[in-house]
Amino acid sequence: MQRSINGGSAASPRGRALALWTVLAAQLMLQMDFLIVIVALPRIQQDLGFSQAALSWVPNAFGLVFGGLLLLGGRLGDMMGQVRAFKTGLAVFVLASLAGGLAQSPTVLIAARVVQGIGAALSGPSVLALVLVMARNDNERAKGMSLFIAVSSVGASAGLMLGGLLTQFLSWRWSLLINVPVGVIVIMMIGRIVTETHPKRARLDIGGAITATLGSAALVYGFISTADAGWLALGPVASFLAAGALFALFFRTERLHRAPLLNLSLLKDRRRLGGLTVMALIVGMHFSVVFMMVQYLQEVLGWSPLFAGLAYLPLTGTVFGITHFVPRLMEVLGAQRLLIVGSLTVTISFLGFSLLDDDSSYFPAVFLPLLVHAVGIALVFAPGTVSIMEGVPEEHAGAAPGYCRWTNRSGARLASP
């Protein structure tokens, strides 16, 4: 007999709440991992002897693989069952985190980050899918979505603070090793308190996964290499041309495949397409600010990793606080208007960041734009996610979250070092 994720009507409210928070704990861990190593990069470079160019692959190796394989991970979740996909991906992620934390060479660390990305791509889409299908009514669905968005919104900046704390008082290795106990606890609990979804038969779109991943890698490599070689050098130009060709092949594959990773019919909805576009741009802007300010605080102002991480506390607190009121604002203004207001607010924050120079201080030169930026991000993430997920058919419960996260990761990858 196939089991339902809801666990039957006998499931207690406390049990459902525990199941939801267990899944969200994994979401927080996955969300933090892209940036938790950023504040530790100078220490990693000293310990393992990375070159400046190779150092950028510590965050990018994870981000590229995670983003490139998210669509495939969403489809595998539908085929395997969301709980099984979640547990399998999380187990891979935990083992890779252990290997990365114990790495003694740049090659091993980058390889571990690649495997982390594979595990995160398999488990990541199942998080939102589980949040959605665990809900027994509209109220629980709205609450689950609100909590998911809040956790996702604060995850990146929380990762910076935790990374700074661990690097300062323990070692940069703990920014990876911290995933091991958390992941093990989640894996042990998830099978006991969350029942499996109905697996669905489907064909795997391997060609789509390969072209999406290689296209993303070529695009990001082109942006990275322009820093040293310039925009018109052979390497960057070849990378951009290769990325264009691979993405064209990807969309052709999706149009012809019987079970595409990216169901193009979902993009015919203008609100969903607009939400995806805005989220990609705003997430890219957000991660560019996060990375830029970490470097500014450490390299220009001379702050320690701990204080560089704690500098994001106003952002994290503001996003978390405002996100609580966003559902009510969406009822009054609508998701589309809120997206516009949030996007304009994020843009205004960049005007403040552009005024920073060597003589600027954290307050007010950094603090005030960071606060404005946090308000904008909080007003974008929730309505953007709702615009993307609203009206998605049940058969795309695993794939659609992959689209959402794939778009967000595309923005994040282009903004990363």
If one counts every other C-beta atom within 10 angstroms of the C-beta of residue 46, the result is 10
Q: Based on the structure, what is the number of domains in the chain? A: 2
* pLDDT for 10: 38
- If asked whether residues 308 and 168 sit together in one domain, one would say yes
- If asked whether residues 213 and 115 sit together in one domain, one would say no
* pLDDT for 412: 46
* pLDDT for 390: 65
- If asked whether residues 159 and 57 sit together in one domain, one would say yes
- If asked whether residues 301 and 341 sit together in one domain, one would say yes
Domain annotation covers residue 210: yes
* pLDDT for 315: 84
- If asked whether residues 115 and 96 sit together in one domain, one would say yes
Domain annotation covers residue 8: no
Domain annotation covers residue 141: yes
Q: Mean pLDDT in runs of 10 for the chain (417 residues)?
A: 38 72 81 77 85 76 78 78 85 94 92 92 80 72 73 72 85 90 85 68 77 81 74 88 93 83 74 77 78 82 84 83 80 84 92 91 92 90 72 53 50 45
- If asked whether residues 267 and 244 sit together in one domain, one would say no
Domain annotation covers residue 7: no
- If asked whether residues 214 and 183 sit together in one domain, one would say no
The alpha carbon torsion through 194, 197, 202, 207 (nearest 10 deg) reads -30
Domain boundary among 233, 256, 279: 256
Domain annotation covers residue 391: yes
Domain annotation covers residue 396: yes
- If asked whether residues 96 and 29 sit together in one domain, one would say yes
- If asked whether residues 145 and 191 sit together in one domain, one would say yes
* pLDDT for 11: 56
- If asked whether residues 282 and 353 sit together in one domain, one would say yes
Domain that holds residue 231: 206-256
- If asked whether residues 249 and 289 sit together in one domain, one would say no
CATH number, domain with residue 40:
1.20.1250.20
* pLDDT for 94: 93
- If asked whether residues 221 and 298 sit together in one domain, one would say no
Domain annotation covers residue 63: yes
